[in-house]
Each structure stands twice: as structure tokens, then as C-alpha cells.
Copies of this chain bind each other. A is one copy, B any other.
Amino acid sequence: MSTTVPAGFRAAGVTAGLKASGRPDVAVVVNDGPDHHAAVVLTSNRVQAAPVVWTRQVLSDGRVDAVVLNSGGANACTGPEGFADTHRTAEHVAQVLGVSAGDVAVCSTGLIGERLPMDALLGGVDAAAAALSADGGDDAAEAIMTTDTVSKTATATRDGWTVGGMAKGAGMLAPALATMLVVVTTDAVTSPEVLDAALREATRTTFDRVDSDGCQSTNDTVLLMASGASGVSVDPDELTEAVREVCAELARALIGDAEGAKHDIAITVRGAASEDDGLEVARSVARNNLFKCAVFGEDPNWGRVLAAVGTTRAVFEPDRLDVSMNDVQVCRAGGVGEDRSAVSLAGREVSVVVDLHAGEHEVTVWTNDLTHDYVHENSAYST
């Protein structure tokens, strides 16, 4: 039930006709309180979709009563008219639910550079409002899918309170954030400030470390809402950990369903002089197309890992680098290690460990292989 597992939330997902496929495409999640605290992390892309600009304004006072999400169109690069469409959507949701438009967040996903069909969208809002229920979370999660093959939900259960979440995202997955829409809810009693800190810490080590294809979106939104309906006041660290748990599960699900992927690759950098160094090295490997093609071909071509490491500014000496693939140390001290033929890449999960021997920090970034199907899906994109 994802976002409706925590008490105080209702949700719905309906078919409004935005997608040519006829699949569900409009979702609404409502926070019935008593609290209406919220926090958000938005794309750092400077080209931002209208709903991102709108939602930033909505969150300025830390209150959200409802969020409306649509697939079937990103409403990005649509100019002032596109922003007016987002505004009108929020006004319509507010009217139907009896709340203020300034407390309605909006998320859109799909093709960039096309206006949304507003009649269909507003009709979808009416239908979703009518269908709202305390077990509507799964329907909402389905309605935000684009090229996702499965809906993504997660829950963290604690003593008397819970965190639930849903996510969509299968392409344009890169820091920061990964390209996605995510709604996380909790019935914990907390404050907007604690909520904001918890969300930033949770996304930093989860969604920001997913890098499927190095491409950053115009529409990324991770929204966290707290109803306080459990009546349980929680310790900020416990809240952060529960939110992080849900975000980590959703992030892992994004990688597991990335467009065309045949392998999920965990790139762990050890012995980094700093967390930033580890992250830079891990991302460089995660974005190396040649390495990603090699994994698709199940070829343990560790030379491509070293070539990617060598493009970074991290602290390391080339002749001290170690690389293991699926626990076989194929590169030792910058040179040839165990025979690469000992590495099997037949399974879905692949582990690459790079040891920089320059410090004590460790970072893991998740990515996918680069496949025929990735090229195929993205050369014929339509939502």
C-alpha cells in the first residue's frame, strides 16, 4: 500500500487518458493530518519543469495537504503556458479537496517539450479525488509509471509508526537526484525542520548514489509528508533511519528495473581519502559506456575500470590501485592480478570494488549495464 501504509493518508490512481497505452496516469495522495508537514528535494538541473518550479514555491512554508502526479507528459520546456497549466492543476485539486492551492504539490513525468492535455488531466483529478482511499497507495504507485515495468513501493515499520513510499523511474537516472518521482509518507509526529533534514540525509546516500545512465532529468522530485496520525513523537535519528530505509529500497528497485538493463552493478570505492573522492571515482566508473558495454557482454574488462578511475581528480597513486570483480582480484597494484577468466558475470548482480589505498572512506554507487535494449528503448521513446 506504499504511501497509505502510514495512518492519515489516502491515495488513488486512475486512467485519465494522457498515455496512449490507456494505462493509469494520474495519482493523488492526500495528507489528512492532523499535521501537514512536508519536505522536498528537487532536481539540481537548471532546466526545470513547471511542476518543479511550482512545488518549490509550495514547500516554502513546509506544508503540503496533497500532491497530484501525472505520467504521460513532463510539462518541461513548455514556457509560461506550461506553468499556467501546473497552476491550474493545483487550483483544481484544491477546489475538489477543499484545501488551498498553495498547499498542493504537483509532479509530472513523460516527454519533454509538449503541453499537457488539460481537459483529460483535470478530469483525471476529479476521478482520482472520488476514488481516494486509505488503501489506494498501490493504485497511485501504478499511475506514475512510465517505462517502468513494475511499480515500486517500500515500507519501514517501527514501534507505533511507519514510513511508506512509492517511486517511478527507469531512465534518466543520475545524480543528483536519480530521475524520478518519489512520494514518501509517515505518520510520525515531527517538525518540518526535522523532516527536511531527514529527507536530505536519506536522499544523499540513496537516490543520489543511483546512476543508471548519467542523464539528469528536469522533473526529479522526492516529496516527504508527515501526518502525525500515529501520535508517536519520534527521535530525529530514528526518523532519518526509517526514511533512509524506504529510500534505499526504492532506489534499489529503480536500478533493478532500469531501461533495458541486464545487470545491476554495485561499484564500491574503498580506501578513499574523502567521501567526495570515493563518490567521484564511483560515478566515473558508473558512467563509463565502454565498461557498461563490457558488463553487458559479461566480459570482465577491468582495464576500462582503471581508465575511468584515471579521469578523476581523487587522491590515488596509479600503481597502488586494486580492482576486484565479483570477488576476484583482477587488478593488483595497478597491474595484472588474478586471471580475468576466473570472473563470472552470468548473474544479474555484479560487484566491482576499487581500492584507492588513500584513506578510510567507502562509497557505493549503483548502476546498470549498457545494452541493446537500452538503445532500443531510448531511440523510440514514447510514454
Note all chain B residues with C-beta closer than 8 A to A290.
171-172, 213, 215, 378, 381
- Total interface residues in chain A, CB < 8 Å: 67
- Tell me whether A88 is interfacial, beta carbon within 8 Å: no
Closest approach, in angstroms, between the C-beta of A356 and any C-beta of chain B?
12
* A297-309 to B contact mask, C-beta < 8 Å, 1/0: 1010111101111
Classify the interface of chain A: helix, strand, loop or mixed.
loop
- Tell me whether A310 is interfacial, beta carbon within 8 Å: yes
- Tell me whether A326 is interfacial, beta carbon within 8 Å: no
Question: Of B74, B171, B336, which one neighbours A303 at CB under 8 angstroms?
Answer: B74
Note all chain B residues with C-beta closer than 8 A to A74.
303
Closest approach, in angstroms, between the C-beta of A149 and any C-beta of chain B?
18
Pairwise interchain contact B77-A296, C-beta atoms closer than 8 A = no
Residue on B with the closest CB to A317? B46
Residue on B with the closest CB to A369? B379
Residue on B with the closest CB to A288? B215
Note all chain B residues with C-beta closer than 8 A to A309.
46-47
Question: Of B80, B293, B380, which one neighbours A378 at CB under 8 angstroms?
Answer: B293
Question: Of B296, B297, B303, which one neighbours A111 at CB under 8 angstroms?
Answer: B303
- Tell me whether A144 is interfacial, beta carbon within 8 Å: no
Residue on B with the closest CB to A313? B46
Closest approach, in angstroms, between the C-beta of A20 and any C-beta of chain B?
15
